[in-house]
Amino acid sequence: MATSILEVIVGVCMAAVVYHYAGYPFVLFLVAILSQAKSDLLYLFDRRSRRCTLRPDYLPRVALLVSAYNEAAVIQAKVSNTLQIDYPPDRLELLFGLDAPSDSTPELLAHAESRRLSVHYFDRRRGKLAVLCDLVQRTSAEILVLTDANTMLEPQCVRNLVRHFADARVGAASGEEIRVASAGTDPGAESLYWRYESALKVLESRLNCSLGGNGAALAVRRSLFNPQKRSIVEDFQIPMEIRFKGHHVVYDPEAVGVEEIAPTFAAQFARRIRIGAGNYQTLFNHPEYLNPFRGLLSFSFFSHRVLRWLVPILLVVAFVCSVPLATHFGLVLPLAAQCLFYGMALLGYWLRKRNKGPRLLAAPLYFCSMNLALLLGLVRYLSGRQTLAWNATPRIAPEALWNQTRGDH
């Protein structure tokens, strides 16, 4: 009896992990095919155009908002990049908010300041969202574009985001974040993961169940910008609140922002812990998002987000239950398979610390480090140790990465 219970627990945990990473994308793909088939049939019957009509004359007033803390390494490049955005200057406001930085960001920004740039210094640290909320009060623009200091936007990024708001149903639009490796970093597994996430976002956007946004390039209709709570991951919370109020949230892979991968493994890991704490904050603060009567929306939230946050717990439970199965009942395969996988991750970490190692180990290492960071993020959230303000991720000067990415395009 005990054997059966343990086997069921291990089986359910591993099945949930497999469903999240493989089953859910397959289900999305099938639903997207059926949705397209339905659209095709309706078109055959009524012959109405299904294409969105572009409106080149739609040029609402836009405010680009940047909240910065200690960003001395990138702030001048960010200003230069911002001034190159292809949007009518008389329709585009540029607002930078400084969250009480302790480095030379204010001085560098002062030297880079132009008449188009509006800089606001806040002498008390409160976190990114609080600064953004203050900046919003300083503009009457119809559309807000939120971006990070270390993100370089392609010239057409703002236009591509803003065009979606010609449809009154759209409340937010998120762009594509291209993560580029800096010197000494291995982009392999992370690059693969971001492509996987982008594919999910494309499918969800087609089915009108997009969840969250991208802090590198996120546009919001100003009349809907009303964060209910102070959040660690505002780029996820704000679009979610807008979507669950009934407005559309669009993902546009043609609105591109370029951001470097954190230059060290430790910096990447710390960033994931912070984001993990923010994810659990969103989950516990908004149980209504799991309301099954919201249909595909709540299904996507559970399958794409909640299960992602539960994977670390499922893995721990599966491993713990596999130990007595192997030691008392002779069922060693589940435990052996997990030990092999985690051993590959540990070996990958050991080799990475020595700047060598086969790429075959990059995927197990990335998977395990991501889920360990999520688990630590849960601990940090439950302990109340994650604040709204945090230390900036180490940056490098982005010009070379920006030029490299533009060349690849």
Smallest CA-to-CA distance from 286 within 219, 237, 319, 323 is with 237
Q: Check residue 215 and give its pLDDT.
A: 80
H/E element, 407: helix 399-408
Burial class (CB in 10 A: 0-12, 13-18, 19+), 402: buried
Smallest CA-to-CA distance from 161 within 178, 148, 182, 176 is with 176
Interhelix angle 24-46/188-206, rounded to 10 degrees, is 40
**Cβ of 302: how many Cβ atoms within 10 Å?**
17
Question: Residue ranges of the domains in the chain?
Answer: 1-51+266-392, 62-263
What does pTM read for this prediction?
Answer: 0.86
H/E element, 344: helix 333-353
Q: How many degrees, rounded to 5, is the angle at CA 234 between CA 368 and CA 300?
A: 60
Q: Check residue 231 and give its pLDDT.
A: 75
Low pLDDT (below 50) residues in the chain: 184, 400-402, 404-409
| CATH code matching the domain that covers 62-263, chosen among 3.30.2350.10, 3.30.230.10, 3.90.550.10, 3.90.1150.10 | 3.90.550.10
Contact 408, 256 (CB under 8 A): no
